[in-house]
Chains A and B, each alone.
Chain A
Amino acid sequence: MIHSLFLINSSGDIFLEKHWKSVVSRSVCDYFFEAQERATEAENVPPVIPTPHHYLLSVYRHKIFFVAVIQTEVPPLFVIEFLHRVVDTFQDYFGVCSEPVIKDNVVVVYEVLEEMLDNGFPLATESNILKELIKPPTILRTVVNTITGSTNVGDQLPTGQLSVVPWRRTGVKYTNNEAYFDVIEEIDAIIDKSGSTITAEIQGVIDACVKLTGMPDLTLSFMNPRLLDDVSFHPCVRFKRWESERILSFIPPDGNFRLLSYHVSAQNLVAIPVYVKHNISFRDSSSLGRFEITVGPKQTMGKTIEGVTVTSQMPRGVLNMSLTPSQGTHTFDPVTKMLSWDVGKINPQKPPNLKGTMSLQAGASKPDENPTINLQFKIQQLAISGLKVNRLDMYGEKYKPFKGIKYMTKAGKFQVRT
C-alpha cells in the first residue's frame, strides 16, 4: 500500500514528506527529478516511475507534484485516485491548494494526512468525516482556540464513519433548508480544418449543494433519462432503483458534492454551438503571414454564448503578430508564442473577428506544424445534451425545502485544427 508521500514544487524542492510505514529516504525522489528533467513540460512527467526498490506514482495539480512511494504491487489507479482525493481535501480545507498555503497549515496538513491513511490503507477520505476529526482552520477558531485552549481536533468518533451512510453525519440542522443542483455539461470536441466534427462528446456532471436538516431521502427524476446510459454515481445513489426505474434515489451528503457524472458519447449527435472560421497562411520565403479568425454561433438553441476566449500556440517561427480584434482584447507572448484573445459575448449579428499579420523569421521556411485553436465558452441556462430534470422530491422529513436547478454548458477540450 501507500508507503510515503512527497510534495514537490515545480522548481524541484521537496517541501513536505509524510510516511505511513517506515521512513523512506527522500533521495528516492532523485529518480523523479530525473524524469522531470527529461520531460519538456511539467504535464509530461510520466505518472508511474519505476526505481530499483520503489515505484513513484505522481499527480500534478496546482503546480505541485504529489508523489506517492509504493513498494509492493498496488493498483496504480487506487494510488492516483487517492492522491487526487488528497488535493481535493486540501482545497476543501484551505480554499486553495498551493505551496504557501500548505506551508502555512503544515500541522493541519500533517494531521489530515495521518487521518486519511493508516498503514497505507485509506481510513477516512470523505471530507465531512475528516472535518469532524480535524476542524478546518478559520480565523475565528484560531482566535477562540488561543483564548480557551481548545483544539482543532475533534475528540468524538465521527458519526458517519461506520454508519450505512458514511457520507452523512447525524444531527444536521439548518434554519433555511435548501437543495440546489447544477447540471453542467462540457463539450469535448475536435473540429477539423474544414469545420466538420471529428469527435464530439459531452462530459456532464450534476453537482449538488444540499443543506437539509436531519436525514432527508431525495429522489430526482429526469424528463429524458435515456440520455444517461454511461453514468458514474456518488456512492449515496441507490443503484438498483436507477437500474429499474431510472430515478435517482439517495440520502445526500451534507454540503457540496458531485451526485453524478455522465458521458454522452460521440455516437449520439452532439450539437456544436460555435463555429470558427480561420485563415492562417504562411508563405515560403516571405517574412509576413496572414492571420484571421472569426467566431460565431451555430446551434445555441437561442441562448447567448458568453465568456468566449480563444487561445492558440503559434509555431516557433512566428516572431510577432499585429492584430486588430473587432471586440475584446488580445495578447501575444513572443516568448511562449501563445496567442490569446478574450472575446466576451458573441453577438450573432456581428460575429467577432481578429485579423492582422504575423511577422515570421526572415528566410526560414514555412513552419511544419499548423497551430491548433483552443476555445473556451459558456452558455447559461442550457444543457446541450437536452437533459432536463423533471422533479425533485423529499421524503423522511417534514419541512418544505427550497429547491433549485441550474443548467450550464461549457467548452471542455474544444479544439479546432487549422
Chain B
Amino acid sequence: MTDSKYFTTTKKGEIFELKAELNSDKKEKKKEAVKKVIASMTVGKDVSALFPDVVNCMQTDNLELKKLVYLYLMNYAKSQPDMAIMAVNTFVKDCEDPNPLIRALAVRTMGCIRVDKITEYLCEPLRKCLKDEDPYVRKTAAVCVAKLHDINAQLVEDQGFLDTLKDLISDSNPMVVANAVAALSEIAESHPSSNLLDLNPQSINKLLTALNECTEWGQIFILDCLANYTPKDDREAQSICERVTPRLSHANSAVVLSAVKVLMKFMEMLSKDLDYYGTLLKKLAPPLVTLLSAEPELQYVALRNINLIVQKRPEILKHEMKVFFVKYNDPIYVKLEKLDIMIRLASQANIAQVLAELKEYATEVDVDFVRKAVRAIGRCAIKVEQSAERCVSTLLDLIQTKVNYVVQEAIVVIKDIFRKYPNKYESVIATLCENLDSLDEPEARAAMIWIVGEYAERIDNADELLESFLEGFHDESTQVQLQLLTGIVKLFLKKPTETQELVQQVLSLATQDSDNPDLRDRGYIYWRLLSTDPVAAKEVVLAEKPLISEETDLIEPTLLDELICYIGTLASVYHKPPSAFVEGGRGVVHKSLPPRTASSESAESPETAPAGAPPGEQPDVIPAQGDLLGDLLNLDLGPPVSSPPLTTSSVQMGAVDLLGGGLDSLMGDEPEGIGGTNFVAPPTAAVPASLGAPIGSGLSDLFDLTSGVGTLSGSYVAPKAVWLPAMKAKGLEISGTFTRQVGSISMDLQLTNKALQVMTDFAIQFNRNSFGLAPAAPLQVHAPLSPNQTVEISLPLSTVGSVMKMEPLNNLQVAVKNNIDVFYFSTLYPLHILFVEDGKMDRQMFLATWKDIPNENEAQFQIRDCPLNAEAATSKLQSSNIFTVAKRNVEGQDMLYQSLKLTNGIWVLAELRVQPGNPSCTLSLKCRAPEVSQHVYQAYETILKN
C-alpha cells in the first residue's frame, strides 16, 4: 500500500486512464487519481493535459484533496492560464472560510499562481487577509505580498500593500513581524532605492523584542535586517549588541552566523578601550568554534566566513588554532579552507604545532591538499621569521621523499623564502639542483631557473644547468622562457667571461625566434642595455629586490570591510561583493562598516603618526605664531653662502623615472613577481643627473624603441599668481608658481619693477617650513632691474632645510631683499611638488600598509566636476608622481589604488573611485600622518581638473 503504486502504468495509456478516474463519482477513487497525478508531476512527467479534470475536483470539503489540487494548480496554471480562471471562484470563497487554515491556504495558493488574470482577483482577498484577526492568516498574507510583488510590482505599489506590510512590523505577534520583515527584505532587494525598511530606534526596538520570541527562521530575517541599520552612536550600538548576543547560543547555525554579522558590524563603532569591547570579543570565539563541529556543508560556509573574520579581527580566534587541524576524513573542501585559516592564525607562539601538522598533511593521499600543505609551509616561513629555519629544513625533508609534486611545490616556495631572506639559506641549493630533472611544471621550472640565476656565482655549473633548459626553449611556457632569459642575463653579468655565447644564444632565441611580444621586448631591452652600458645593465638587472610581503592573499581592506557586512551570505562564501555575481543587474546597495563615533578617537590620532613624519613630531621646536615674524626678521639676508647640496637622490630619481616609465610599461607585469628584475635602479645609477643633452645615446636609442612611452613630463604647473603686490613692496611686484620637473623642485618667479628707481642686490630667504623647503641656489638677478622691467627667474629648491610645522601645512613664508628694503610675504605651495618619483608602492606592500594604517586615519573627499575616465586620470596623476598600483572594476566603477610619497618619506595611499558618466569621483586617503590628507586632496583636485 505505498505510493509507488502510483507510478505503475497500464497498456491503455496512463493519461487516458487517469482522466477516467478523475471523473469518477467515487470520492476515494478521485483522490487516488489526483495522488497519481501529483506523483507523476514530482518526477517531472508532464501531466498538464489533465488540467480541466483536476480543477474539477477542487470544489470539495476534503482538505487533503483540496491541497493536492492546489499543488497541481501551482505547477501548471501558468501553462493553462485560461483554464486557471476556473479556479478563481473557489479561491475567493475559501478566503472567507471560517477556518483560518483554509483562509490562509487559499491566499497562499493564489499568490503562487503566476497568472495575471488571477492576480487581479487576488487583491481584495489579500487586503482582507492582511488585516485578518488570526495571526496565522496575517503572516501568510505578508509573504503573499512578496509573491505578488515578484509577479507584478506595479500592482503592489498601486494597491498600497507596501504600507500595510510596513504596518505589520509593529504587529503584536512576533511571527507576523518576522514574516513582514522577510517579505520587505525580499522586495527591497529588487528595489534598492526604495526606502522600504527605514529603520529608526523605535522600529529597531520592536524588532529586538520580536527577535526573542519568533521562530529560528524569523530570527535570521530580523538579524539580517538589523545588520543594515546604522546606530547613531556607540551607546546605541552597544545596547543592540547586548540584546543580540544571546542568539550566539542558538542551535541553528544560520541564526548564530547572522548574529555574528550584526556584532562584527556594530563592534566597529565601539571604542577598543571599552570593557564591553573585550567581553564581546571573548563571546564571539566559542560559537564560531562550535560551528566547526556541525555537518561538513555547514562547516564549509562557516570556514569561509571565519576566513574573513580572522582577517578583520585576528584576536578573536588567535587561541583556537587547534580546532582548525584537519581530520583525515574531512571532505576536501573543508580541508583546504581549514588550511587557509591555519596559516592566517600562525604566529610565533604556535608555529611549532602548525609546522608539525603541515608536515603530517604533506604525506596525505589527496594531491591538491598535499600541494597546498607544502605551500603553506613556505607561507609560514615568510610570515613568522623565527620559524624560517625549521620550515626550510621541513621542506628539505619533504624533497627527500622524492614525491614528484611535493618536490615541485617545495621548490616554488623555497624560491619565495630566498626572496624574503636573501643570502641565508643558500646551503640548500645543492639539494635543489639534484632534483632538476624531475621538474615538469612551468612554475617549478621557472622557480628553479630563478634560483640558479640569482645565485649563479655560488653554483659552479650554473651555466651548464641553464644551458640544459635552453635546449627546449621553444617548448617551454612563457613563464619559463622569460625567467630563463633573465636568469642567463644575470649569469652573464656575474660570470661574463665564460657565458658570452650562452647569452648571445638566449638573446637571439628571444628576439628573433619568438612570437611573444613580451619575451621579444624584454630580450631587446637586455640586449641594448648590455651592448651600450654593461655597468648600467648590472645595476638594473642585479638591483636589490624589494622584499616580498608576508601575506600574499589578503583581501583588499575596503573589500574586506564590505564583505564583513555580508557575513553569512553568498558573498561571504565567494569573497566577492554581491554586485559581482548577483543576477539581473538589480542595483545592489553598497554596504560599509559604520564609522566610529566616539570622540576620544581624534585625540589619539597624532600619537599614531610614525617617526617618519616630521609634522607634529617635534612640538618643542614649534615657536608660537607671534615669534614667526621675528624669526624671519632675524634672517641673515646676505647672499646665501654656498648653495646647499642638491638632494642627489631626488635628481637621480628623475633619471630613473625615465627608465621606470619606459621600462615598466614595456615589461608589463612580471608573472608572479618571479622575475626579480625590478627596474627600480639604485640611487647610484650611472645615468647623468641632468637630463638635458648629455643623455647617453644608448638610452635615447631605447626611447626611440619605446616610441615615446617614456616621454618627459613634469608635474602640473599652476599659472603664476601675484604673491607680493607692488604697493606693498615699494614698487616690487612678485608673482610666481612652483614646478616639479624630473625630480627637482623650483620656484618660478617673475619680478617686475614698478617703481621709478633701479633695483639691485636681490636676495631671498625662506622661513622654516613643514617640509624643509629651502632655496638651493642664491637668487640670481644678473642685471639691475630698471623701472618697468620684468625678469623671470627659476629658483631651484631643496627639501633639506630646517623643518617646522606650519599652519596651514603648506604655508611658506618668504623674505625678499633688494637695495630698497626687505619684504615679507607668504604663499601656499601645492603639495604635489613634493611627490617624489619613486612613489610607486609594490602591490603587496600597498595592501599590507593599507591594512596597517588605522581606520581613523582614513579621509574621504569628493572631487566634483571632473569628467575623466580612469585611464585619463591615471596618466594625468602619473605625470605628477601619483602612481596607480592596481585597478579594479566594481559594477561599472573603476577603483584606482594609488600611492605617492612625499619628499620627507611620508607615504600616502589613495583609493580613487571613478564612475563613467558621473563627473564626480570619490577619493579616500590613508596616511600615517593624517594632517597631509587635506592637502593631498587639493593636489588631486588641481591635477585632475587641469
Contact = CB atoms under 8 A, between A and B. Distances in A.
Contacts of B139: 162
B293 A188 contact: yes
A210 to B, nearest CB: 17
A182 interface: no
Interface string B390-401: 000000000001
Contacts of A164: 213
Interface string A221-232: 000000001111
A195 interface: no
A235 B216 contact: yes
A74 interface: yes
Contact of A75 (B27, B186, B254, B403): B254
B67 A114 contact: yes
B6 A107 contact: yes
Interface stretch (B544-552, B577-585, B630-638, B664-672): B577-585
A258 interface: yes
A223 to B, nearest CB: 21
B77 to A, nearest CB: 11
A301 interface: no
A125 interface: yes
A58 interface: yes
Nearest to A186: B293
B215 A114 contact: no
Given A232-B251, A369-B365, A415-B328, A72 B220 contact: no
A14 B251 contact: no
A316 to B, nearest CB: 8
Interface in A156-173: 156-157, 161-162, 164, 166
Interface stretch (A19-27, A321-329, A355-363): A19-27
A407 interface: no
A73 to B, nearest CB: 5
Contacts of B258: 75
Interface string A354-380: 000000000000001110101000000
Contacts of A59: 295, 297
Contacts of A15: 43
B796 interface: no
A76 B302 CA distance: 10
B602 interface: no
B249 A48 contact: no
A87 B689 CA distance: 76
Interface in A228-244: 229-235, 239-240, 243
B117 interface: no
A368 B367 CA distance: 12
Given A198-B322, A201-B323, A73 B571 contact: yes
A53 B134 CA distance: 38
A35 B34 CA distance: 36
B67 A73 contact: no
Contacts of A53: 583
A402 interface: no
Given A43-B296, A46-B300, A239-B246, A19 B75 contact: yes
Contact of A263 (B75, B173, B186, B289): B289
B333 A111 contact: no
A78 B254 contact: yes
Interface stretch (B108-116, B125-133, B496-504, B843-851): B108-116
Nearest to A83: B297
Given A72-B189, A119-B111, A229-B286, A103 B257 contact: no
Interface stretch (A146-154, A292-300, A343-351, A384-392): A146-154
B574 A77 contact: no
A265 B289 contact: yes
B15 to A, nearest CB: 19
A105 interface: yes
A127 to B, nearest CB: 13
A162 B295 contact: no
B603 interface: no
A55 interface: yes
B42 A16 contact: yes
Interface stretch (B307-315, B356-364, B446-454, B905-913): B356-364
Nearest to A368: B403
A122 interface: yes
Nearest to A188: B293
A263 B246 contact: no
Contacts of A152: 64
A74 B3 CA distance: 34
Given A59-B295, A121-B217, A235-B216, A230 B3 contact: no
Given A75-B224, A151-B64, A188-B293, A231 B35 contact: no
A188 B76 CA distance: 50
Interface string A188-207: 10101000001101010000
B265 interface: no
Contacts of B28: 146, 149
Interface string B723-745: 00000000000000000000000
Contact of B570 (A48, A106, A263, A413): A48
Contacts of A342: none
Given A16-B42, A78-B254, A73 B3 contact: no
A82 to B, nearest CB: 8
Contact of A50 (B63, B217, B257, B581): B581
A277 to B, nearest CB: 19
Interface string A72-95: 111111101110100000000000
A103 B300 contact: no
Interface string A1-36: 100000000000011111111110010000000000
Contacts of B3: 103-108
A172 B99 CA distance: 22
B360 A77 contact: no
B321 to A, nearest CB: 9
B290 interface: yes
A201 B290 CA distance: 11
A233 B297 contact: no
A155 interface: yes
B298 A81 contact: yes
A118 interface: yes
A118 B150 contact: no
B930 interface: no
B325 interface: yes
A142 B3 CA distance: 11
Interface string B247-258: 001111110111
Contact of A78 (B112, B220, B360, B581): B220
Interface stretch (B140-148, B608-616, B760-768): B140-148
A151 B302 CA distance: 42
Contacts of A381: none
A73 B577 CA distance: 11
A44 interface: yes
A134 to B, nearest CB: 9
A170 to B, nearest CB: 15
20 contacts: A14-B44, A16-B42, A44-B332, A48-B300, A50-B581, A73-B570, A74-B570, A76-B568, A80-B298, A103-B4, A110-B71, A119-B112, A153-B64, A192-B356, A201-B323, A230-B286, A233-B249, A265-B286, A368-B403, A415-B327
Given A104-B3, A110-B38, A265-B323, 14 more contacts: A22-B78, A26-B44, A44-B331, A111-B64, A119-B146, A125-B215, A125-B216, A151-B65, A154-B63, A155-B99, A162-B175, A235-B215, A235-B250, A368-B363
What are the nearest 4 A-B pairs in CB distance? A104-B2, A151-B64, A230-B286, A47-B297
Interface of B: 1-4, 6-7, 27-28, 31, 35, 38-39, 42-44, 62-65, 67-68, 71, 74-75, 78, 99-101, 108, 111-112, 114, 134-136, 139-140, 143-144, 146-147, 150, 173, 175, 179, 182, 186, 189, 213, 215-217, 220, 224, 246, 249-254, 256-258, 286-287, 289-290, 293, 295-298, 300-302, 319-320, 322-323, 325, 327-329, 331-333, 353, 356-357, 360, 363-365, 401, 403, 568-571, 573-574, 578, 581-583
